[in-house]
Chain A
Amino acid sequence: MTPNHAALELWPPAISATASETDLLILAFTVLTLLLTVPVFVAITYFALRYREGSEADRHPSGIRSNLIEISWMLIPFLLTLIFFVWGARLFIASKNAPPDAMVIEAIGRQWMWKFQHPTGQAEINDLHLPIGQPIRLRIISQDVIHALYLPALRLQVAALPDRYTDLWFKADKIGTYHLHCSEYCGTDHSVMGGQVTFMNPGDYQEWLTHAGAQQSKVAAGRTLYEAYGCAGCHDPGATVKAPSLVGLYGSPVKLADGRTVTADETWLREKILNPNGDRLAEGYKQVMPSFAGRIPEDELGRLIDFLKSYTAPASGKAAQANP
Chain B
Amino acid sequence: MSATGSVGGTARREPHAPEATLGRKADYLHADSTLRSWFLTTDHKRIAILYLTSITGFFVIGAVAAGVVRLALIVPNGAIMTNDTYNKAFTIHGVVMVWFFLIPSIPATFGNFLIPLMIGAKDLAFPKLNLTSWYVFMAGAFFTLVSLVLGGVDTGWTFYAPLSTAFSNTWVLPALIGVTIVGFSSILTGLNFVVTIHTMRAPGMTWFKLPIFVWAHYATSLIFLLATPVITTALILLIMERGFHIGVFDPAYGGDPVLFQHLFWFYSHPAVYIMVLPGMGVISEIVPAFAQKKLFGYRFVAYASIGLASVTFFVWGHHMFVNGQSDLASLVFSALSFAVAVPSAVKVYNWTATIHKGSLRLDTPMLYAMGYIGLFVLGGLTGLYLATLAINQHIHATYFVVAHFHYIMVGGTVLAFLGGLHFWWPKFTGRMYSEPWGRVSAVLIFLGFNVTFFPQFILGYLGMPRRYATYPVEFQLLNVLSSAGATILAAGYIFPMLYLVYSLWFGRKAPANPWNAKGLEWETASPPPKHNFHSPPEVPRIPYDYPIQAQEARDQHG
A171 to chain B, nearest CB (A): 15
Q: Is B549 an interface residue (CB 8 A)?
A: yes
In the bound complex, do residue A162 and residue B257 qualify as a contact, i.e. CB atoms below 8 Å apart? yes
A135 to chain B, nearest CB (A): 17
Q: What residue of chain B has the Cβ atom nearest to residue A85's Cβ? A: B338
Stretch at the interface among B29-37, B47-55, B235-243, B346-354: B346-354
Q: B282-296: which residues lie under 8 A (CB-CB) from chain A?
A: 291-292, 296
In the bound complex, do residue A9 and residue B462 qualify as a contact, i.e. CB atoms below 8 Å apart? yes
Q: Is A37 an interface residue (CB 8 A)?
A: yes
A262 to chain B, nearest CB (A): 34
Q: What residue of chain A has the Cβ atom nearest to residue B382's Cβ? A: A33
Q: Known: A74-B345, A162-B251, A188-B87. Is A183-B397 also a contact (CB below 8 A)? A: yes
Known: A51-B355, A191-B467. 13 other contacts (CB 8 A): A66-B297, A69-B349, A73-B346, A78-B339, A85-B334, A88-B392, A91-B389, A91-B390, A145-B167, A181-B465, A182-B465, A189-B83, A321-B78
Contact with B along A116-131 (1 / 0, CB 8 A): 0000000000000000
Q: Which residues of B contact A93 (CB under 8 A)?
A: 327, 331, 389
Contact with A along B248-263 (1 / 0, CB 8 A): 0001000011100000
Q: Is B4 an interface residue (CB 8 A)?
A: no
In the bound complex, do residue B361 and residue A53 qualify as a contact, i.e. CB atoms below 8 Å apart? yes
In the bound complex, do residue B83 and residue A78 qualify as a contact, i.e. CB atoms below 8 Å apart? no
Q: What residue of chain A has the Cβ atom nearest to residue B384's Cβ? A: A81
A114 and B551 alpha carbons, distance in the complex (Å): 65
Tell me which of A40, A85, A185, A321 contacts B377 (CB under 8 A). Answer: A40
Q: Is B463 an interface residue (CB 8 A)?
A: yes
Q: Is B476 an interface residue (CB 8 A)?
A: yes
Q: Known: A9-B474, A159-B323. Is A47-B154 also a contact (CB below 8 A)? A: no
Stretch at the interface among B155-163, B210-218, B309-317, B439-447: B155-163
Q: Known: A7-B474, A48-B362, A53-B360. Is A322-B83 also a contact (CB below 8 A)? A: yes
B74 to chain A, nearest CB (A): 14
Contact with A along B398-427 (1 / 0, CB 8 A): 100000000000000000000000000000
A149 to chain B, nearest CB (A): 10
Q: What residue of chain A has the Cβ atom nearest to residue B300's Cβ? A: A70
Contact with B along A94-113 (1 / 0, CB 8 A): 01100000000000000100
A87 and B362 alpha carbons, distance in the complex (Å): 42
A137 to chain B, nearest CB (A): 15
Q: Which residues of A contact B350 (CB under 8 A)?
A: 70
Q: Is A295 an interface residue (CB 8 A)?
A: no
Q: Is A63 an interface residue (CB 8 A)?
A: yes
Stretch at the interface among A54-62, A202-210, A269-277, A303-311: A54-62
Give 15 CB contacts A-B under 8 Å: A7-B477, A51-B291, A51-B355, A52-B359, A52-B360, A54-B359, A61-B551, A78-B339, A85-B388, A92-B389, A92-B390, A145-B166, A146-B323, A158-B393, A191-B469
Q: Which residues of A contact B477 (CB under 8 A)?
A: 7-8
Q: How many residues of B contact A (CB 8 A)?
A: 96
Number of A-B contacts (CB under 8 A): 282
Q: Is A323 an interface residue (CB 8 A)?
A: yes
In the bound complex, do residue A61 and residue B391 qualify as a contact, i.e. CB atoms below 8 Å apart? no
Q: Is A29 an interface residue (CB 8 A)?
A: yes
A64 and B349 alpha carbons, distance in the complex (Å): 15
Q: Known: A37-B377, A78-B345, A152-B462. Is A88-B162 also a contact (CB below 8 A)? A: no
Tell me which of B158, B162, B374, B458 contacts A162 (CB under 8 A). Answer: B162
Q: Is B430 an interface residue (CB 8 A)?
A: no
Q: A217-241: which residues lie under 8 A (CB-CB) from chain B?
A: none
In the bound complex, do residue A188 and residue B472 qualify as a contact, i.e. CB atoms below 8 Å apart? no
The interface size bin for chain A is 35 or more
Q: B306-343: which residues lie under 8 A (CB-CB) from chain A?
A: 321-324, 327, 330-331, 334-335, 338-339, 341-342
Q: B153-186: which residues lie under 8 A (CB-CB) from chain A?
A: 154-156, 158, 160, 162-163, 166-168
A90 and B334 alpha carbons, distance in the complex (Å): 12
Q: Known: A61-B550, A150-B465, A152-B394. Is A40-B349 also a contact (CB below 8 A)? A: yes
A94 to chain B, nearest CB (A): 9
Tell me which of A146, A153, A157 contacts B160 (CB under 8 A). Answer: A146
In the bound complex, do residue A37 and residue B389 qualify as a contact, i.e. CB atoms below 8 Å apart? no
In the bound complex, do residue B396 and residue A318 qualify as a contact, i.e. CB atoms below 8 Å apart? no
Q: Which residues of B contact A84 (CB under 8 A)?
A: 384, 388
In the bound complex, do residue A44 and residue B548 qualify as a contact, i.e. CB atoms below 8 Å apart? no
Contact with B along A152-177 (1 / 0, CB 8 A): 11011111011110100000000000
Q: Which residues of A contact B323 (CB under 8 A)?
A: 146, 159, 161
Q: Known: A159-B322, A322-B77. Is A183-B469 also a contact (CB below 8 A)? A: no
Q: Is A249 an interface residue (CB 8 A)?
A: no
In the bound complex, do residue A40 and residue B297 qualify as a contact, i.e. CB atoms below 8 Å apart? no
Q: Is A179 an interface residue (CB 8 A)?
A: yes
Of A36, A44, A324, the most chain B CB neighbours within 10 A belong to A44
Tell me which of A43, A59, A96 contacts B359 (CB under 8 A). Answer: A59
In the bound complex, do residue B461 and residue A37 qualify as a contact, i.e. CB atoms below 8 Å apart? no
Q: Known: A91-B390, A158-B324, A188-B84. Is A26-B461 also a contact (CB below 8 A)? A: yes
Q: Which residues of A contact B461 (CB under 8 A)?
A: 11-12, 26
In the bound complex, do residue B373 and residue A44 qualify as a contact, i.e. CB atoms below 8 Å apart? yes
Q: Is A313 an interface residue (CB 8 A)?
A: no
Q: Is A1 an interface residue (CB 8 A)?
A: no
Tell me which of A73, A91, A145, A182 contacts B162 (CB under 8 A). Answer: A145
In the bound complex, do residue A40 and residue B352 qualify as a contact, i.e. CB atoms below 8 Å apart? yes
Q: Which residues of B contact A81 (CB under 8 A)?
A: 338, 341, 384
In the bound complex, do residue B163 and residue A157 qualify as a contact, i.e. CB atoms below 8 Å apart? no
Q: A179-202: which residues lie under 8 A (CB-CB) from chain B?
A: 179, 181-192
Q: Is A211 an interface residue (CB 8 A)?
A: no
Q: What residue of chain B has the Cβ atom nearest to residue A54's Cβ? A: B359
In the bound complex, do residue A64 and residue B551 qualify as a contact, i.e. CB atoms below 8 Å apart? yes
A301 and B515 alpha carbons, distance in the complex (Å): 74
A44 and B446 alpha carbons, distance in the complex (Å): 16
Q: Is B473 an interface residue (CB 8 A)?
A: yes
B151 to chain A, nearest CB (A): 13
Tell me which of A69, A87, A181, A318 contacts B463 (CB under 8 A). Answer: A181
Q: Is A148 an interface residue (CB 8 A)?
A: yes
A161 to chain B, nearest CB (A): 5
Q: Which residues of B contact A85 (CB under 8 A)?
A: 334-335, 338, 387-388
Of A12, A85, A87, the most chain B CB neighbours within 10 A belong to A85
Q: Is A314 an interface residue (CB 8 A)?
A: no
Q: Is B357 an interface residue (CB 8 A)?
A: yes
A109 and B355 alpha carbons, distance in the complex (Å): 54
Q: Which residues of A contact B365 (CB under 8 A)?
A: none
Q: Is A144 an interface residue (CB 8 A)?
A: yes
Q: Which residues of A contact B345 (CB under 8 A)?
A: 73-74, 77-78
Tell me which of A11, A22, A70, A90 contacts B346 (CB under 8 A). Answer: A70
Of A37, A66, A82, A321, the most chain B CB neighbours within 10 A belong to A66
Tell me which of A66, A150, A322 contacts B470 (CB under 8 A). Answer: A322
